Structure 1
Amino acid sequence: MGDLTGRTALVTGASRGIGQAIAARLAAQGAVVIVHFGTDKDGATATVDAIGRAGGTALAVRAELGVDDDVETLFAGVEAGLAGRPLDILVNNAAAAPAGPLGVTTRTEFDHLFAVNVRAPYFIIQRALPLLRDGGRIVTISSVATRMANPSQTSFAMTKGAVETMSMTLANQLGVRGITVNAVAPGATRTATNGAVFETPGLAELIAGTTALDRLGGPDDVADVVAFLASDAARWITGQVIDASGGLFLGPRA
């Protein structure tokens, strides 16, 4: 995987789960990583400390997304952390969880989903552009929920469909600066946060049985894909949604 020494990265929602793994992977490849968190200060501190113990460099920045002045709060910390350096890599990972099926999701929950999952990444990118160097990388985490019908995640899937369209459109706009813009779509990914969900009897086996690679994903499976897109090796890939689900629900395996 590509060397990111001397580059800077901002990873939103990096205090746990997939975001934490992405931050650790980018740092392991040499990037100085800004670890964003919303409420989980302990998790963000643990992420920064783990990166430091592994020989990397990271710092934490707090900003609750989906509220007034969220982007301004975030970038006050980001610019302080960059200390005049440009930003090389932006990973929009932070997201609100699915709120439920049609008829259950409230207007407040729906608006919150779109505020965190769509509005925040859009305006984070807008705010980051003056800082982002030519040839930089933007990666937004989507979901396989956009390519399959799951009634319990309708509003969530809508938000991820929006950021996929955003990524394609911005790739076309920003390509003249050599900036690539892509999305990564994980499937069922077991993390320390959601691990209890997969302890439901038979659930892990059911999902593995409908996955081409016959297992659940882990945070590192997604982080490696993001790190590839952030590297020079992915310089000719833009405007794409990269499925990082292990082949979830591709069709009958029989």
Structure 2
Amino acid sequence: MTMRNRPILVVDGDPQSRKLVTAALTEADFEVLSAPDGSTGIELARRVQPAVIILDILTSATDGMDTLHGLKGDPGLKHIPVVAITASSDLTCADKAFRAGAQFFLPKPFRAASLLGLVELAADRAQKEIPMQRRRRHPRHPAAIPVACFVADNPHTTREVMGHTANVSLSGLSMWLPERLDQGTILHLKLDLPGGPITAKGRVMWQDPKQARDGRFHHGVRLLGFTEEGGLSQFRRQLSQLAEESTE
């Protein structure tokens, strides 16, 4: 799995800055999640394990340096490279950021090319530093697979929510849905694979509270099991085919 298959997390208290950074990364085919403050950013980072975190170290909602210390003090997050950004003219900002654990520093304003270069470098360096035994057990594969999600609002009512995957792995799905589902929601899934539909059960593990431009919401769903005989084998075959296509 390449680091590009994992999202980039942008933590910045300035809405306009978040919008510009997100647009630049999206244009370069990165998947981007964003947070307006440090506490939300740390919570989101724990859920999605981004490839790189772009952090405004002077974000207005909370001290970005506190957020940086929080990221680097968390055993589950400290390995994620951080690109520190700031509009401050204080020349000591870079030194403070590096001392707190940031791997890269970029003063505002910056060109999109400079940002993309640092993000690519950070992702590549992180990939090389991850020991093989710590790499993701189940690689993700980009795939837009139609999925019907059946949600039980109460014991007597079930409704259907249609969406599609962004990427898939043996353990879970990254999906786009037209509405935001609560973390922990149990889903009965119908995946429309090329070889025929399969059914499975899943649980919403995380959701991005930010709505995409097209009105959809990004969710992470853990697969809990397949409900029909042969479903797991068919899903494995689909993953193998996606892996072969990615190497061609």
Q: TM-score range by the shorter chain?
A: 0.3 to 0.5
Greater per-residue strand proportion = 2
Considering fraction of residues, name the structure with more helix.
1
Greater Cα radius of gyration, structure 1 or 2: 2
TM-score, structure 2 length as denominator?
0.38
TM-score, length-scaled by structure 1? 0.38
Structure with greater contact order relative to length (CA < 8 Å, sep ≥ 6)? 1
